[in-house]
């Protein structure tokens, strides 16, 4: 039987676009709306605060991986904290990633139902999504990463086209008052919502599939930078298109923005371009998160073959996606809580592990080739 716990090596570009797409998919749904409710017109630079805090969190992750150059984050937890506590921390990481995948799928399905398929049962949309995630999970990390790299350029190009075409609706005065609901609130919520970039923890999960600490460092910071630029541009476009008191009522503001583009009879209905980005990025993001959960779970229980677990976890993912009662539950409870408190699982355990490893003088052993 093939050992499925040993993932193949993936290149820098494949890993980069895997991280960028998984991280930035949230901007296509309720993320801009949630941000404008919290800080008003300051949401575009609030995300800068989130990215900076996430970068600080990644520094701890990188320093820990540098200290253990041949281990992933689950193995490091076991070595630093012992098998029992390491198991608990790995479980928390897997649980948060699984919940995030479920919330993302339900949000995707709800918005699809509102704007695209109003008569389609929500179970059918979620089921189709989960089926794709199952297929990609069977293909493995290398295949998903290469596919992500293949479509990344098209997705970025389509995103840029939408942003440029929406220029006809931009009004600079909508960015004012520049301080939103106050600079203090902006910094506070920006720091608390650093979990928006928490998917950077993926580099620690797949560390053994990458090419050393130097590449991990470059990969993490580059992915954070590109994701931040995409989110910043999207937030600015959102604020320039809609007044903040109107924009806070939209479920999927980026979709609505693309539907407003109209350059005459022969150039309208550009939301079809947006749907192309929307569907592909959501499918990639959900599949990647599911696969990360499988990697962590298999390490926890020392399972060598992931394939028998794909269908059970797909059922769990589907079931979790059905728990919210509707779109308002998804946005105001589940997505909001993940944004506000996810950093506790993403950044704090690696920091504590790093400090503990330094105090106890623990290091990973580099095996000679």
* Encoded tokens for 315: 């059922």
Domain residue limits at 303: 12-359
Say how many domains are in the chain: 1
Position 2 in a domain: no
Position 67 in a domain: yes
DSSP secondary structure, 331-363, as one string: IIIIIHHHHHHTHHHHTHHHHHHHHHHHHTT--
Position 315 in a domain: yes
Q: Count how many residues are written for the chain.
A: 369
Position 124 in a domain: yes
Position 191 in a domain: yes
Position 337 in a domain: yes
Separation of alpha carbons 308 and 98, rounded Å: 18
Separation of alpha carbons 41 and 267, rounded Å: 31
Angle (CA) 153-53-352 rounded to 5° is 115
pLDDT tens across 196-249, in order?
999 999 999 999 999 889 999 999 999 999 999 999 999 999 999 998 888 888
Left, alpha or beta for 306 (phi > 0: left; psi -120 to 50: alpha)? alpha
pLDDT tens across 59-117, in order?
999 999 999 999 999 999 999 999 999 999 999 999 999 999 999 999 999 989 988 88
Position 6 in a domain: no
Residue 313 belongs to domain with CATH number: 1.20.1740.10
DSSP character for 274?
Answer: H
Separation of alpha carbons 62 and 253, rounded Å: 35
Position 112 in a domain: yes
| Cβ-proximal residues to 240 (8 Å cutoff; 6+ apart), any chain | 169, 170, 171, 172, 174, 175
* Encoded tokens for 232: 């910043």
Residue with tokens 């805090």: 53
pLDDT tens across 26-59, in order?
988 888 999 999 999 999 999 999 999 999 999 9
**pLDDT for the residue 367:** 59
């Amino acid at each position: 039987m093939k050992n499925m716990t040993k993932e193949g090596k993936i290149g820098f570009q494949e890993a980069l676009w895997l991280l960028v797409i998984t991280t930035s998919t949230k901007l296509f749904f309720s993320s801009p709306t949630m941000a404008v409710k919290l800080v008003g017109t300051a949401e575009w630079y609030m995300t800068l605060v989130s990215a900076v805090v996430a970068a600080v969190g990644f520094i701890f992750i990188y320093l820990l991986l540098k200290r253990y150059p041949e281990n992933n984050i689950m193995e490091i937890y076991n070595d630093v904290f012992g098998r029992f506590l390491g198991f608990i921390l790995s479980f928390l990481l897997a649980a948060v990633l699984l919940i995030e995948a479920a919330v993302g799928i339900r949000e995707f399905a709800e918005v699809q139902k509102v704007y695209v398929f109003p008569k389609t049962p929500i179970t059918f949309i979620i089921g189709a999504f989960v089926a794709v995630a199952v297929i990609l999970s069977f293909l493995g990390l290398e295949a998903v990463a290469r596919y992500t790299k293949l479509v990344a350029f098209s997705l970025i190009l389509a995103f840029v086209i939408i942003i440029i075409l929406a220029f006809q609706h931009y009004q600079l005065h909508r960015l004012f008052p520049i301080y939103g609901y106050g600079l203090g609130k902006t910094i506070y919520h920006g720091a608390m919502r650093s979990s928006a970039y928490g998917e950077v923890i993926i580099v620690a999960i797949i560390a053994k599939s990458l090419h050393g600490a130097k590449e991990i460092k470059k990969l993490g910071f580059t992915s954070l930078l590109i994701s931040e630029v995409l989110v910043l541009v999207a937030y600015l476009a959102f604020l320039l298109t809609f007044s903040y008191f109107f924009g806070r009522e939209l479920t999927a503001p980026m979709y609505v923005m693309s539907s407003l583009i109209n350059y005459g009879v022969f150039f309208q209905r550009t939301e079809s371009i947006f749907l192309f980005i929307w569907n592909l990025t959501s499918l990639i993001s959900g599949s990647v998160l599911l696969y990360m959960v499988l990697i962590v779970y298999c390490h926890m229980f020392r399972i060598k073959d992931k394939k028998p677990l794909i269908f059970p976890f797909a059922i769990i993912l589907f079931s979790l996606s059905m728990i919210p009662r509707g779109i308002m539950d998804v946005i105001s409870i589940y997505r909001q809580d993940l944004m506000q408190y996810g950093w506790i699982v993403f950044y704090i355990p690696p920091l504590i592990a790093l400090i503990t490893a330094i105090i106890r003088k623990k290091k990973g052993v580099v095996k000679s080739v």
